[in-house]
Amino acid sequence: MKTIIAIATASILSLGSAVLTPAAAFHLTPPGDFTADGQTSATKTGLTLPCNAHFTGTVDSKGLGQVTGGSFTDNGSVGCTAVALQNLPWKAKAVSATKAKLYNVTFTTPLGDCGPSNVPVKVKNGVLKFTTVALAGGCTISGKLKTSPKLAIVP
């Protein structure tokens, strides 16, 4: 009888943790289209290209995001309008209460090609921030982008 109770208890506990696991996952919100605007920079071979960036994207009903497009204008240097995003859409997924990850980020610049690489991003008060993130191709990128509507991460 004790064996049956122990097996039943173990089954209930494992079922309980299986039910809790999906609820503990993090999601981007709100669902729908968004834009992200702000300053970015890409550095390669000791040269830095500071640019004003405008990204477009979407968040689906499951809280998964995608960057679907982007453009750049000059911010103190020449060449930003020649930056072109590659490998779109870039998938985006919340990985903690304050962090998300962009997958397979790739772009071309007058300095050379960068990526593909995954980019960790901090999400706070609708602002996406990444600082000195190393990418394949010998590049590092930084940026601070304000989203509209304000993106957030929820459990």
Buried b (16+ CB within 10 A) or exposed e, 127-138: bbebeebebebe
Average pLDDT of the segment spanning 16-32: 69
pLDDT in tens, 103-113: 999 999 998 99
Quick check: bond before 30 cis, omega within 30? yes
CATH entry, 27-154, from 3.40.1350, 1.20.1630, 2.40.128, 2.60.40: 2.40.128
pTM of the model: 0.83
| pLDDT score, position 132 | 97
Q: Hunting for tokens 């550095």 — which residue is that?
A: 43
pLDDT at 29 over 60: yes
pLDDT in tens, 32-78: 999 999 999 999 999 999 999 999 999 999 999 999 999 999 987 78
| pLDDT score, position 24 | 58
Q: Where does residue 31 rank: exposed (0-12), middle (13-18), buried (19+ CB within 10 A)?
A: middle
| pLDDT score, position 57 | 98
